[in-house]
A and B are shown apart, each in its own frame.
Chain A
Amino acid sequence: MDLALLTEARMRGRIEDVVARSRRRACRLVPLLATLLAAACGRDAGAPRAGGTVIIGMRADFGGFNPITNTDQYTDEIIKYALFTPLVQYDENLEVRPYLAESWELLGDTGVVFRLRRDVRWHDGRPVTAQDVKFTFDLAKDPATASLIGSAYITEVARAEVVDSYTVRFDFVRPHAQALEDFWWAPAPRHLLENVPPADLRNAPFNRAPVGSGPYRFVEWRANDRLVLERNPDFPEALGGPPALERLVFRVVPEPATLLTELLTGGLHVDIPVVPDQAARIESDPNLELFSFPSRTVYFIGWNTRREPFTDARVRRAMTLAIDRQEIIAALLEGYGRPAVSTIPPWSPLYPEGVQPLPYAPQWAAQLLDSAGWTDRNGDGIRENAAGRPLRFTLLSSDAPLNRNVVSVVQGHLRAVGVDAQVRALEFQTLLTQHRARDFDAVLSNWVLDNFQVASAPAALFHSRWADVPRSANRSSFANPRADSLIEAGAAETDPERARRIWAEFTELLNQEQPFTFMFWLDELAGASRSVRGVVMDPRGEFVSIANWSLGGPPAANGR
């Protein structure tokens, strides 16, 4: 095999990005790519151009593309930003803006009427109507579908009513905060799904070959290998029009090191997600850009408030004071994280400004433990209570590398104030079983917000009505009457200013009670080739601007 043929084979496997990089050589050597290269070689470098394929590498495969039954985060983004059209979207300030619904009218705080656009069509040509919206709503409400929309978005919405083909009215159960945000979900096509029994919706063939209504159309999905989407030429101009890209290809590459290799060698344009210790490698490559943005994931240590010694709020508070969370962010996350004080993320409009996390103050922790009756009575470096019981407990974590590292560091911090934390890493499913059964002393865990209705998380985690329910999320069995009333007041408050004050008060209470030690908000990381233009990544997700992505020529060396 001669050199030219080998080079040709090599070039063939690569994508335009690489082709562009070694453009001059390639232009001489690769006649078969002539048509592709004609564009790349002859064009003014840097100008975005229409057409082209962007390849995105991801660690795990998608779930099914059914807006009603999906529970996977990345699949949700593809549903909302690429394949389907939600009633409303968020803008960059996380304010609700019209999308499929071109306008709405709030009926006081008892309901809302949406008027739908008339130019949005299913990819098979039928119009998207109010019937589809009501159909989706009713199915999501049906317990048989076990829908995330039903359990997370529309719990405060009682019913949907079709006023006319393009007008739909919803009635609320009660006045509640962030009411418009209940409708950040995409309708599914009634004409294709109405014959599927609700309990079988999760296994419907539709989910693996969806007919959507968004800027991209479904082409092909090979499980654990690739998903291919193409531009929808009929997407309405008012919603941004047809995308510039001809195709999107999502490839599944489970191993992070391999995924990075593909990005560095030009086999991919976009790598999602990047692990923190790969960030520097991407930043140092002039052809690549690192994206970091605040995520919806908060890490915390949950204390079992029904077990000694964590029945005592002073002990829980001492644990938090003794753990240097800033050091963990700097050392284990390479700085890609921010301190946490509650489940309300720093970027949320409801974030209680001014409420600081408890500081790192080991001497205060020691004083608190002294006053709670835990002192080192036998000189072995570990504190004991009056009965001689040592301050020793088991700290569980999953076997994910980050989680294991975090608990090891925490163990060291606690040892310095005379607390003996025995760390144990368990496989995720085993950990979850123990956590749900309340069979633990302390667990490093995390919490991912499903949407931006941040007011719903505290209820699930900290309301006393869930304290003893087996599969509920209040696994620390936290029960505090004042917390309950603040949670209820916050969820019902429709005025943002008053809501912020309630959540500030609630956060102060958490600071005192510390059912959790909040560790950090994780920053999401992604890497992308600079040839992909129009990429925006923020708390709304990696794919929020995917309809606006385009391919440009390679950036000039000084063009950064």
Chain B
Amino acid sequence: MGTYLLKRLLGAIPLLLGVATLIFFVLNLAPGDPTARFYSPAASPEVIEQLRRTYGLDQPIIVRYLAWLRAFVTGDFGSSLAQGRPVIDIILDALPNTILLTGTSLVLVFLLGVAIGAYQAVRQHRWADRVLSVVGLFFYSMPSFWLGLMLMLLFAYQAYQWNWPIALPPTGMTSIDYDFLSPAGKILDRIRHMILPVTTLTLVLAAGIARYTRGQMLEVIRQDYIRTARAKGLPERTVILKHALRNSLIPVITLLGLYLPFLFSGTVFVGTIFAWPGMGREIVNAIAQRDYPLVMATTFLFALLVVLGSLIADVLYAVADPRIRYD
């Protein structure tokens, strides 16, 4: 296992380097200019030229690439052109917020998705299964930004208008008076702010997991060993939870790795709509402003997380299925 992990990690290095190089060239060859944010009627062409020299943008792309690569492999991400501070500071500010959002969502996506899928499989063709299928398909096919706005309309705006006791804050991570709250109040405040963005991310993705789990379960339930388990008189509960569910989960775990990219792209929309100060917002702003160092670092980080995510999925795969050995 240890050797396998090491091999996988070493193999990831050229992959990530390739990804970063690709992003660098796509980004730098795309039309645009980081100094455009200083686009101002009064800024004279000389001033714009001076800024381009300051940022090294007057150099040929290959020179810029080598300079970037040299800094990058030593862990120097440079300074953001738009924010005027080290990229690493920006990431350290934003990444914990993103991990909080995506981590919570990921856990909920799997708990909810697997639970609903398994329930549906057991209740196949009954009305509960049908209703859940329709509801699942509804959320599965819904764009997250629209769902987010609708949830906000209902639970932030209308709930407030109608004086519901559960009106939720539509934006941000904490209230303005957060610093003055009691410790319990702080936790409650954070949870309230997370409900809408987490629900948005979770509903869309959990629907997919539920459908997948349901399909897997139905297949497993028809297997001979399930019939054997029932025949030897095990309670139905044990049959479903221990024998059927555990076996149907193995392929679902693989989905974990595949779902990470969706989750990250989801945070871009959710981060914009709910003003969540995470990586999604930084990426959107950085691309629009052609803030090259920040785009490079953030997209690279997402690529890294996706690679790590699929590695973790493979490891979990071995944990869930003792037949699988990585030697």
Contact = CB atoms under 8 A, between A and B. Distances in A.
B50 A146 contact: yes
Nearest to A69: B84
Interface residues of A, number: 73
A12 B47 contact: no
Nearest to A448: B41
Nearest to A223: B93
Interface stretch (B103-111, B169-177, B198-206): B169-177
Contacts of B82: 63
A466 B153 CA distance: 50
A457 interface: yes
B143 interface: no
Contacts of B47: 143, 146-147, 150-151
A5 B156 CA distance: 18
B46 A143 contact: yes
Interface in B44-99: 44-51, 54, 79, 82-85, 90, 93-94
B42 to A, nearest CB: 3
B170 A457 contact: no
A402 B180 CA distance: 42
Interface in A89-137: none
B255 to A, nearest CB: 30
Interface in A35-85: 53, 55, 60-61, 63-64, 69, 71
Contacts of A151: 42-44, 46-47
B288 A258 contact: no
A196 B317 CA distance: 54
Contacts, number: 182
Interface string A419-431: 0000000001110
Given A249-B176, A429-B32, A255 B157 contact: no
B85 A71 contact: no
A55 B174 CA distance: 14
Interface in A297-338: none
Contacts of B188: 9
Contacts of A432: 31-33, 36, 39
Contacts of A32: 182, 185
A58 to B, nearest CB: 10
A13 B84 contact: no
A261 interface: yes
B261 to A, nearest CB: 22
B171 A267 contact: yes
Nearest to A208: B85
The interface size bin for chain B is 35 or more
Contacts of A147: 47
Contact of B40 (A61, A71, A204): A71
Contacts of A204: 84
A208 B86 CA distance: 12
Interface string A453-476: 000110011000010011111000
Interface in A208-255: 208, 222-226, 249, 251-255
A6 interface: yes
Q: Which of B44, B90, B181, B288 is most buried by chain A, counting CB atoms within 10 A of its CB? A: B44
A265 B157 contact: yes
Contact of A261 (B30, B157, B281, B285): B157
Contacts of A262: 170-171
B277 A12 contact: no
B193 to A, nearest CB: 8
A225 B172 contact: yes
B42 A254 contact: no
A152 B32 contact: no
Nearest to A456: B42
B31 A258 contact: no
Interface stretch (B118-126, B224-232, B268-276, B299-307): B268-276
A152 B40 contact: yes
B4 interface: no
Interface in A405-460: 428-430, 432-434, 447-451, 456-457, 460
Given A146-B47, A207-B84, A224-B282, A450 B41 contact: yes
Contacts of A434: 31
B273 A258 contact: yes
Nearest to A266: B160
B165 A253 contact: no
B243 interface: no
Contacts of A55: 176
A73 to B, nearest CB: 9
B189 interface: yes
Among B40, B149, B153: residue with most chain A CB under 10 A: B40
Nearest to B54: A199
Contact of A146 (B51, B84, B181, B272): B51
Contacts of A253: 171-172, 275
A264 interface: yes
B173 A6 contact: no
A429 B31 contact: yes
A71 B43 contact: yes
Contacts of A193: none
Contact of A433 (B33, B37, B43): B33
A473 B172 CA distance: 39
Contacts of A433: 31-33
A354 B279 CA distance: 53
B170 A267 contact: yes
B42 A258 contact: no
B173 A225 contact: yes
A450 B46 CA distance: 17
B260 to A, nearest CB: 23
A382 interface: no
Interface of A: 3, 6-7, 9-10, 12-13, 15, 22, 32, 53, 55, 60-61, 63-64, 69, 71, 143-144, 146-148, 150-152, 199, 202-205, 207-208, 222-226, 249, 251-255, 257-258, 261-262, 264-267, 428-430, 432-434, 447-451, 456-457, 460-461, 466, 469-473
Pick the 8 closest A-B CB pairs, nearest first.
A429-B32, A152-B42, A433-B31, A225-B277, A265-B160, A471-B45, A253-B275, A203-B84
Given A254-B281, A449-B41, 16 more contacts: A69-B84, A146-B54, A148-B40, A151-B42, A203-B85, A223-B277, A224-B281, A226-B172, A251-B275, A261-B170, A267-B170, A430-B30, A430-B31, A450-B40, A460-B44, A471-B45
Interface of B: 30-33, 36-51, 54, 79, 82-85, 90, 93-94, 149, 152-153, 156-157, 160-161, 163, 165-167, 169-173, 175-177, 181-182, 185, 188-189, 192-193, 272-275, 277, 281-282, 284-285, 288, 290
26 contacts: A6-B165, A6-B166, A12-B181, A12-B189, A60-B285, A71-B40, A143-B46, A146-B38, A146-B47, A146-B48, A146-B50, A148-B40, A151-B44, A208-B84, A208-B85, A225-B172, A251-B171, A253-B275, A254-B281, A265-B170, A267-B171, A429-B32, A448-B40, A457-B42, A460-B44, A461-B41
